[in-house]
């Protein structure tokens, strides 16, 4: 029995290492896309930030099949899961502006709440449209498969 326990531990270790490497590689790929898009945005003085250009580039690559979603899923899931850690420096920096928060805190809160609501609505709309598109494409694939089966 000791051999089977050691064997299962080794298999779990290899699986964990594989998962770690996959997340590291996919996160690095997402970072590379961002850096390339940021370079393009700065080089051509685009009126949008590099993050937006990178998001559009990644979306285009996903839609045209240049990147399969499974190639970035683990890295994206990890980044989204730990996103709160990326906002801690901003929250700590806000403490330095106590006077501003006392005077104009309600305005800042209004902007933050309003911006958050706008982002939530935009994301909900985008997800709804993507789901509709996905349903239409699945229906189209089913019709094509049915026609091909009859022929």
Mean pLDDT by 10 residues, the chain (151 residues): 66 86 92 93 92 91 89 88 71 72 84 92 93 94 92 77
Q: Say how many C-beta atoms besides its own lie within 10 A of residue 30's C-beta.
A: 17
Q: Say how many C-beta atoms besides its own lie within 10 A of residue 133's C-beta.
A: 11
Tokens 């937006």 found at: 52
Tell me what pLDDT residue 99 has: 79
Q: CA–CA separation, 79 vs 30, rounded Å? A: 10
Tell me what pLDDT residue 25 has: 93
Backbone angles phi, psi at 46, to 5 degrees: -70, 150
Q: CA–CA separation, 122 vs 117, rounded Å? A: 9
Tell me what pLDDT residue 151 has: 77
For the CA atoms of 24, 30, 36, 37, what is the dihedral angle to 10 degrees? -160
The helix, strand and coil proportions of the chain, stated in percent and rounded to the nearest 5, come to: 90, 0, 10
Q: CA–CA separation, 148 vs 151, rounded Å? A: 5
């Amino acid at each position: 029995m000791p051999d089977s326990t050691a064997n299962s531990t080794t298999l779990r270790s290899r699986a964990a290492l594989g998962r770690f490497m996959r997340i590291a590689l996919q996160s690095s790929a997402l970072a590379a896309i961002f850096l390339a898009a940021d370079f393009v945005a700065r080089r051509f003085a685009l009126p949008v930030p590099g993050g937006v250009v990178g998001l559009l580039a990644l979306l285009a690559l996903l839609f045209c099949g240049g990147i399969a979603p499974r190639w970035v899923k683990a890295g994206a899931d990890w980044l989204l899961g730990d996103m709160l850690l990326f906002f801690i420096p901003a929250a700590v920096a806000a403490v330095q502006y106590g006077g501003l928060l006392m005077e104009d805190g309600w305005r800042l809160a209004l902007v933050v709440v309003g911006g958050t609501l706008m982002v939530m609505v935009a994301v909900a709309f985008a997800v709804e449209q993507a789901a509709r598109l996905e349903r239409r494409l699945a229906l189209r694939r089913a019709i094509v498969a049915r026609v091909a089966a009859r022929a």
